[in-house]
Amino acid sequence: MTITLVLLGIIMATVIGWLLRQTLNTEPWDALDPAENQPGRGVITAPPSKIGLMTFIAVVTSLFALFLSAYMMRMQLGDWRPLPEPDLLWLNTAVLVLASFAFQMTRRAVTRGQLQTVKTGLIAGGVCTALFLIGQLVAWQQLGATGYFITGNPANAFFYLLTALHGLHLLGGMWVWGRTTTRVLKGADVESVRLSVELCTVYWHYLLLVWIGLFGLLLST
């Protein structure tokens, strides 16, 4: 449990540190003159979409931290009955790792202008993510088949809630992935999708870290 909170704290600190580095490298009065807003002169120079993603990650991290705090407080009560985590979750975790690796490969290919590798990496990342989500649904079905329903016990409810919350955030990422992949398959040049690929990569790495934290917590409790 402590490890999970530490992991989420590290993620939050990384996001905040990144945002601060965009503004602490110049004098504050430079930011008052729009005409002087140049890289390294006291204003946030990153693209708005990147700043938006980092802000969103900070909010999501806070949300998960609140749910995990509620999880740990609730498990102290006497009616808490831990459920057996399906072995399939280990395979799902490996598939999500592969998805994150595919996006990292795509990110490198974008910087090198390797269009075919970008296409392959995007498709591989999307397929692995879809397999992870399908695997999570199958894990739910396995639990239901053995009598571990969402209403059966607080531990059951939290398991379904946390895994569903993580899955919904992945689905949101799949929407951005779908738009980016469609553009590439329609012939967009590598440079035009560079930012989208970078943002997808950061987001998938983040959700992988979150899942590892959640999975570790579920296994230990």
H-type helices in 75-193, by residue range?
A: 88-112, 115-145, 154-185
- 34 pLDDT above the threshold of 70: no
Which whole number is the average pLDDT over 148-175? 92
- 83 pLDDT above the threshold of 60: yes
pLDDT at 92: 96
pLDDT at 12: 55
The better pLDDT of the pair 134, 32 is held by: 134
Which whole number is the average pLDDT over 141-154? 89
Helix (H) or strand (E) holding 201: helix 194-220
pLDDT at 140: 95
What is the percent of the chain with per-residue pLDDT over 90, rounded to a whole number?
47
Which of 29-43, 55-69, 157-171 is predicted least confidently?
29-43
Tens digit of each residue's pLDDT (9 = 90 or more) over 181-204: 999 999 888 888 999 999 999 999
27 neighbors 42 (Cβ within 8 angstroms):
yes
Give the separation between CA 165 and CA 214, rounded to whole angstroms. Answer: 11
pLDDT at 5: 55
**Residues belonging to the chain:** 221
Residue 64 CA, chain-centre distance (Å), reads: 11
Amino acid at 134: I
Measure Cα distances from 36 to 26, 43, 48, 69 in Å. Answer: 12, 10, 18, 45
- 43 pLDDT above the threshold of 80: no
Which whole number is the average pLDDT over 6-31? 50
Domains parsed from the chain with CATH numbers = 2-220 (1.20.120.80)
Which whole number is the average pLDDT over 121-139? 96
pTM of the full structure? 0.81
The better pLDDT of the pair 30, 6 is held by: 6
Which whole number is the average pLDDT over 13-41? 47
In the block, which residue shows the tokens 């929407």? 175
Give 22's pLDDT tier (boundaries 50, 70, 90): very low
Which whole number is the average pLDDT over 12-28? 49
Which whole number is the average pLDDT over 95-103? 96
